[in-house]
Structures are given as structure tokens and as C-alpha cells.
Amino acid sequence: MMHKFTKKTIFTLVTVLVIAGVLLCNIGFHALATRGLWFLDFAIPRYLSMEGTLYKVSDSCIDLLDKNLPGTVDAINAERAAKGEQPLKVEIIFCTDADMLDKNDYTRYIHYTALGLQKEFADYIDVQYVNIVKNPSAVQKYKATSATNIYSSNVIVSFGTEYRVFTVDSLFTSNDAASKDYWAYNGEKKLTSGILAVTRAESPIACLTVNHGEKIEGYDEFMRLIEAAGFRVQTLDLENDPIPENCRLIITMAPQTDFFGDAADDNDEIDKLDAFLDKAYSFLYVCDPDSPSLPNLEEYLEFWGITQARKTDSAGLFENYLLQDKEANVDGEGYALIATYETLGKGASFTADLRDTGYPPTVIFDNATAIKPADNYKPTYVLEDETTNTEAYMYYSYRANGVSRTMHNIFTAPATANGTVNGEVHEAAGQYPFSLMTLTVENRTTQETNYSVAQEPSYVCCIASTDFLSDTVLASDAYGNADVVLGTLRSMGREVIPVTLEFKAFMVWDIAEKVLADNNPMPIMIALAVVPALICFGVGIFFNVRRKYL
């Protein structure tokens, strides 16, 4: 009896140990697969000539980072060591737990790219996870927000004080982002661009134009925000000085005299500005109710859809609008307007992070004039429901001579605002409210390879209030103006785009058979499914037979 009990105990113990061993093997292999990227990628490229697959970090990406990352990070850390500071790594921060990333096909692509980069550059890149539902303050400095769904979740690339924030949506290519109809993965290029941007040894330049009576003095907080957005700030005499090679943004603050424009003169400021924007860079123009007539500059801005709202008499004399709203204001008189966020379209993307918080901060435009679309920009309507012609939003578009530009609102005045002249109402808002901050985009498509193209737009942003940028408003925690300015500057600052990196397109079934014929994964898949089962089956028979003879 004791002998039988001992055998039963032994077999029970063996069974428990086998089950425990299987569980431990699963846990161990999962950990190794996650940290060491132990997997086989059977993804099928869209184009047969493409190299690399969806999960594997491409050799061109590794080569690009290997040429740029160690040198810059080592140099920065050497300076930190001399100051007695700890060395830094590039942090790729996911705003959710690791297991949540692997449950979704799309976030798994991004997760494995990050892990692949960490594996290749372990001394320089570290992947982290922050559950921002439980710990929202952990990423507050990055302006990252808790997402309503996995597609708007944030991925942060950070190094020291520099960072870039990406949404899951922004790392894929689709024909219709609203339906998540992704057809290619572009995360490798975007993350690499972010890494190069936050670790670059020399920041891009933002130039403030001078010698036109610009309002530059007394805007210390604005200058601080330009630097916080990753720029070095310089002044630029556009007529007499060349634009610095590393300049990515030109800012003009309410000029009082016109830009020099003479096509026959090499110092033509309008031509210089136009050539600068042709490089897919950006221009920020600020005006106010006191802006004088500037024929050359205004004519050029009209090509970007921007005109200033005015009352003009028969003699050609004019007065700029001063907007007033006695209902939505913070000063009691109606001149410090509480702006309305644009919630759809390209302009809305500049404030998406602020609006995703659930409680968007109040943004004010004090002493503001109004921006109107130029006559050659036509309204373009985007329908929410095509069957009922329900309008979702609208923007203004211009197409001529091979040029395509669109003008979008970022902020508008309240619907109850009026355009006043000398204290009297001259124009009510009408069907569409007055524009306070606009974004004009010139769309450019650059062919990178036979199969991929890159979008390299130029941006012209117009703000209709210099007081929007005042120290008092930007330094106040009560308003979101500083967040808007910082987000706008970051969005307009053109990063270095690694053009050697291609997107990774998803499978197209009409060529799948040929790809599978050239590189058939089925034998490996069958082996992985059948061999472990046969081993377990054999072990089970062995123990069953042995049990009968014990």
C-alpha cells in the first residue's frame, strides 16, 4: 500500500513539475522574445523590391543612427560628466503598459521597432512604459495626454530637455485616417527622425526680421518659448543679410514699414522669403489693429490666403477691425476675446494635445484684429454625412500653376463677436466667425524611391494679435496661450527627415502568392506547431508505458 502511494505521489509530482516547467518556459520565452526580439517575421512586403519587413529594424536605419547617434550622445554626456551630471539615454516612452501594446496589431509594430532600436543601441536608447491613467503626472512635462483610444495614444522620444511626441496615427500612412485604413507603416522613419532631432548637436535657427519697426522688445516669454521649442533665436535683416543655412523658421512681429520688393534687385526681401518657403520651411506673421498698409508684404501674403479685415472708404483710406465680444471675454469690455478652438481639419491638429485633455485651457486674444481669406482662395467644404450634406467643417483652397495651398483656422473669434471701427460695429461675424489664427499649407510631394513619396509642406501661420504673445498672458497659468505657442512652433519647425528610410507597406494579396513562392514560411510554421506537440505526445506515451511496469 505504501509502495503504491509512493508511485502515485511520484507521478503526481512529475505531472506538476512538467506543467510548472511548461509555464516557466512560456514565461521565459515571452520575456526573451520581448527583450531580445526572438521572433520570426512572416510579414509580406507590398513591393517585391523592398528590403526588410514590418518588425525588423532595417539595416539602413541602423547604419543611419550608427553614423549620427553615438557621436552626438557621447559628446553631450562628456560635457555632462565634466559638470558632475549623470549621462543621458534617448528614452522612447510609451504611454501605456507593454502588454497593452502587443494586443493591438498596429501598436505592436511600433513597440517592436522601439525594442529593435534598443537592442541595437543598448548604450544609447532605452524603452520605457508609463501608465498615464494611473500616473498622468509622469509625462506632464511632455504635454502628453491620456488618449480616448489606442490610435491617439502618445509615443514620446526624449533626450534631456528635448522631446518629440507622436501619436499612433502619425506613424502610419492611410488614405483615410478617420477609418484607420492604414496601408503602410512609417514608424521607423518617424521615430528615427525624432531621435536625430532630440540628439542633434546644433539646434535649428528661428530668425526674427528687423529694420521694419517690428515689435520685438518686451516679448521675453515668447523668446523663451522659441528656445524651448528647440530653436536658437537670431535677428535677420532680410534685405541686407543672407538667411542662415540652418534657419527653419522666420518670424515677423507686426512690422511698421514695408518689405523691400524689386524683382530686379538681389536684395528683394519678398523673393528671399519666397525662396525660403520653397524649401519646405515656415513663416510666422503677427499683425494687430494698428498694422499699417504694407503693399509688398500684403500682396505676397495674399498668395498664402491671408488678408487683414478692414473698412476702406472711397478714397482708399482704411481702418483695421478691432474685434469685440461683450459675452465671451475676460476683461469685461469685450476686447480680450475667449477664442474658439478649431476641432477638425489641419488647423485642429496644432491643438490636438490640448483638446485631448478633456478640459482645454482658455486661450485669449486681446486687442485682436481679424484675418480673412484672400479672394482667390475658395471655400472647400468637408461633409460629415454625404447623404444629408451635413457640413463638418470647411477650409479655403488655392490651386493654380502647379501650386496647391490650403488655409485652415486654428482659432476663431466667438460667433457673437463684431468687427468694430472707431468704437462702432462695422461687421458682425455672419455665417462663419472671424479668424484669429490661421495656418496655410503648401503641399509638396517629393519622390523618395520608385515606391515611396514624402510630404514636405511649407507653413505660413498668421496670428491677429500681438497681445496674444505678451509676457503677461504667456506667463499666466490661467491661460493656454503658452501651450499653443509652444505646440505651434514645434509643429512648424521642420525636422531633418531621413529620406533613405522607406515606409513598410502591408500585404497586397494579388502578389502574395509570388512572395510566398519565393520565401515560403509554411514549413517553419508547421514545424513550430507540430514538433513540440509530437515531443509532448512521445513523452506522455513513455511515462504511460513505464507506469504500467513500475
Is residue 512 predicted with pLDDT exceeding 50?
A: no
Cα 54 from Cα 112, distance rounded (Å): 9
How confident is the model at residue 85, as a pLDDT? 87
Mean pLDDT of 265-281: 89
206-234 in b/e form (b: 16+ CB < 10 A) is bbbbbbbebbeeebebbbbbbeebbbebe
Range in 91-100, 298-307, 453-462, 464-473 the model is least confident about: 453-462
Q: Give the E-state strand segments of 313-457 in sequence order.
A: 318-320, 322-324, 336-338, 340-341, 364-366, 371-373, 378-385, 390-400, 403-412, 418-421, 424-428, 435-442, 445-447, 453-455
Mean pLDDT, the chain, integer: 80
Do residues 392 and 384 touch, judged by C-beta distance below 8 A? yes
Mean pLDDT of 88-92: 93
* Residue that has been written with the C-alpha cell 507653413 in this structure: 459
More confident residue, 164 or 296: 296
Is residue 165 predicted with pLDDT exceeding 70?
A: yes
Residue 176 pLDDT level (bands cut at 50, 70, 90): low
Coil, helix or strand for 204?
A: coil
Domain positions in the chain are 59-200+501-505, 205-492
The residue length of the chain stands at 550
How confident is the model at residue 59, as a pLDDT? 83
Among candidate residues 104, 230, 115, the one with its CA nearest the CA of residue 492: 230
Residue 30 pLDDT level (bands cut at 50, 70, 90): low
Residue 509 pLDDT level (bands cut at 50, 70, 90): very low
* Residue that has been written with the C-alpha cell 530686379 in this structure: 264
How confident is the model at residue 11, as a pLDDT? 66
Residue 349 pLDDT level (bands cut at 50, 70, 90): confident
CA distances from 311 to 128, 192, 254, 291 (A): 56, 50, 19, 13
Cα 11 from Cα 8, distance rounded (Å): 5
Residue 183 pLDDT level (bands cut at 50, 70, 90): confident
Coil, helix or strand for 474?
A: helix
Residue 257 pLDDT level (bands cut at 50, 70, 90): very high
What are the residues facing 381 on neighbouring strands?
A: 394
Is residue 237 predicted with pLDDT exceeding 90?
A: yes
Using left for φ > 0, alpha for ψ between -120 and 50, and beta otherwise, residue 489 falls in alpha
Cα 481 from Cα 466, distance rounded (Å): 12
What are the residues facing 156 on neighbouring strands?
A: 93, 165
103-126 in b/e form (b: 16+ CB < 10 A) is ebebbebbbbbbbbbbebbeebbb
Is residue 495 predicted with pLDDT exceeding 70?
A: no
Q: Give the E-state strand segments of 51-191 in sequence order.
A: 90-94, 125-129, 154-159, 162-167, 172-174, 182-185
Range in 155-164, 217-226, 241-250, 404-413 the model is least confident about: 155-164
Range in 51-65, 98-112, 232-246, 271-285 the model is least confident about: 51-65
pLDDT digits (tens, 9 = 90+) for 356-379: 766 788 999 999 999 999 999 999
Cα 367 from Cα 185, distance rounded (Å): 45
CATH topology of domain 59-200+501-505: Glutaredoxin (3.40.30)
CATH topology of domain 205-492: Rossmann fold (3.40.50)
pLDDT digits (tens, 9 = 90+) for 134-147: 777 776 667 655 45
How confident is the model at residue 42, as a pLDDT? 46
Residue 52 pLDDT level (bands cut at 50, 70, 90): very low
Single-letter residue type at 73: V
Q: 59-200+501-505 and 205-492 share one CATH topology?
A: no
408-430 in b/e form (b: 16+ CB < 10 A) is bbbbbbbbebbbbbeeeeebebe
CA atoms within 13 A on the CB side of 313: 5
Residue 33 pLDDT level (bands cut at 50, 70, 90): low
Coil, helix or strand for 158?
A: strand
- 3 state SS for 317-359: CEEECEEECCCCECCCCCCEEECEECCCCHHHHCCHHHHCCCC
How confident is the model at residue 451, as a pLDDT? 45
Is residue 505 predicted with pLDDT exceeding 80?
A: no
Angle at Cα 314 formed by Cα 310 and Cα 316, nearest 5°?
55
Cα 336 from Cα 329, distance rounded (Å): 5
CA 528 and chain centroid, separation: 40
Range in 98-112, 222-236, 360-374 the model is least confident about: 98-112
For 421, residues 6+ apart whose C-beta sits below 8 A from its C-beta are 311, 319, 320, 321, 322
How confident is the model at residue 535, as a pLDDT? 78
Among candidate residues 405, 329, 394, the one with its CA nearest the CA of residue 364: 329
Burial class for 197, CB neighbours closer than 10 Å (0-12, 13-18, 19+): buried
Q: Give the E-state strand segments of 218-308 in sequence order.
A: 232-236, 247-253, 282-286, 306-308
How confident is the model at residue 515, as a pLDDT? 44
Give me the percent of the chain exceeding a pLDDT of 70. 76
Cα 249 from Cα 246, distance rounded (Å): 9
What are the residues facing 109 on neighbouring strands?
A: none
Is residue 93 predicted with pLDDT exceeding 70?
A: yes
Mean pLDDT of 112-131: 91
Mean pLDDT of 506-533: 57
Mean pLDDT of 31-59: 52
Is residue 385 predicted with pLDDT exceeding 60?
A: no
Mean pLDDT of 153-177: 78
